[in-house]
Amino acid sequence: MVDIEKLVRPNILALKPYSSARDEYAGGAGIFLDANENPFGELNRYPDPHQRDLKHKLATLKAVNDNNIFVGNGSDEVIDLAFRIFCIPGVDKALTFAPTYGMYEVSSAINNIELLTIPLTTDFQIDVEKVKLYFADSSIKLLFICSPNNPTGNLMNKRDVEYILKNFNGIVIIDEAYIDFAKEASLISLIDQYNNLIVSQTFSKAWGLAAARVGLAYANSEVISLFNKVKSPYNVSKINQQAAIDALTKFEVYSERLTLILKEKERLIAQLQELVIVKKIYPSDANFLLLEVEHADSLYTALVAQHIITRNRSKQVENCIRISIGTPHENDELVKALKDI
């Protein structure tokens, strides 16, 4: 067990959070003259600051308790708040791997936290021997693991992740933005076992709600209460809470689309393998493919000229392009364009 309090910034431990009008009254219907809202209109009332209905649905789906869930304004908020809770600016550090999701770097820079990066192995796995060298540095408060990893698409070896959870004395954030597409289960099941584990997920990918900005953190209740302490009072709008609830209610829509995306992924792989310009397709547990091509920069530009926008990742992985799985029609258009190039 990690001593969580020891990892928290002293000013956050001491903080008395803002108590909103809706925090103090949790009863049912009434005459609300407490929050200086306009009594008229559709969206005139502040939303539930604790997103109780949404958490309740998620708790059932994920087999956790409501107090194991934090709902954020996208995963970006989860990442940002983790820096603000645990890392003293200019003093503490965080650790991640490369190549990986760019927001860890941006968010650490915004918060004035040094982010150390360890290269992944040639098959994009964690080099545990290298990670071990950092365990003695108590200024490292956070460690980010993206699994399935963006932009490489692979799941991280569970044995390596558990080794880190057991031996690292800081907080481990496992970013599972793509876990719904993966063949392995989420590590949310480990939050009771490791109190330093935060699993982040999102409604932006498999749930199809990127526009709504709803991100999630799953952890033990002590860690979750820290997130609730520092978040802005009404961080998730009523419209967005409702959009997430509606998506969960229509589980068959989610499930059908997920199946179709995975089927399209296999179809696209088969078609891309036929093309001479494609040198390698990396194995993917996500809804995107990382392709190694001959000249990524010119291929990217040629596709843009045909109004097909992919992600040029050649600065992260040499001559690689990342392609999201689209609709059957979009995937056909991509293959057609690639054949003509």
Ligand X SMILES: *Cc1c(COP(=O)(O)O)cnc(C)c1O
- Is the Cβ of residue 37 or residue 105 nearer to ligand X in the bound state? 105
- Is the Cβ of residue 75 or residue 314 nearer to ligand X in the bound state? 75
124 dihedral zone (left: phi>0; alpha: psi -120 to 50; beta): left
- Is the Cβ of residue 116 or residue 209 nearer to ligand X in the bound state? 209
The residues, any chain, with a CB within 8 Å of residue 163's CB and separated by 6 or more, are: 128
- Is the Cβ of residue 204 or residue 312 nearer to ligand X in the bound state? 204
For the chain, helix, strand, coil in percent to 5 are: 40, 15, 45
Instruction: Give me the least distance between CB of 74 and ligand X, in Å please.
Output: 3
Instruction: Give me the least distance between CB of 234 and ligand X, in Å please.
Output: 18
Alpha-carbon span 288 to 265, nearest angstrom: 8
- Is the Cβ of residue 99 or residue 215 nearer to ligand X in the bound state? 215
How is 49-95 classified by DSSP, letter by letter? TT-HHHHHHHHHHHTS-GGGEEEESSHHHHHHHHHHHH--TTT-EEE
Helix axis angle, 328-340 to 296-305, nearest 10°: 120
Instruction: Give me the least distance between CB of 115 and ligand X, in Å please.
Output: 15
Instruction: Give me the least distance between CB of 106 and ligand X, in Å please.
Output: 12
- Is the Cβ of residue 8 or residue 146 nearer to ligand X in the bound state? 146
Return the closest-CA partner of residue 179 out of 160, 203, 195.
203
List residues binding ligand X (CB under 6 A): 74-76, 101, 146, 150, 175, 177, 202, 204-205, 210, 215
Quick one: tokens of 240?
């967005």
Instruction: Give me the least distance between CB of 240 and ligand X, in Å please.
Output: 11
How far does Cα 61 stand from its chain's mean position?
18
Instruction: Give me the least distance between CB of 231 and ligand X, in Å please.
Output: 14
How is 131-199 classified by DSSP, letter by letter? HHTTTT-TTEEEEEEESSPTTT-PPPPHHHHHHHHHH-SSEEEEE-TTGGGSSSPPGGGGTTT-TTEEE
- Is the Cβ of residue 221 or residue 324 nearer to ligand X in the bound state? 324
Instruction: Give me the least distance between CB of 175 and ligand X, in Å please.
Output: 5
How is 84-132 classified by DSSP, letter by letter? HHH--TTT-EEEEEES--THHHHHHHHTT-EEEEEE--TTS---HHHHH
* Residue number, nearest CB to ligand X: 74
Instruction: Give me the least distance between CB of 38 and ligand X, in Å please.
Output: 30
- Is the Cβ of residue 154 or residue 202 nearer to ligand X in the bound state? 202
Instruction: Give me the least distance between CB of 136 and ligand X, in Å please.
Output: 28
- Is the Cβ of residue 4 or residue 180 nearer to ligand X in the bound state? 180
Rg (CA), the chain: 22
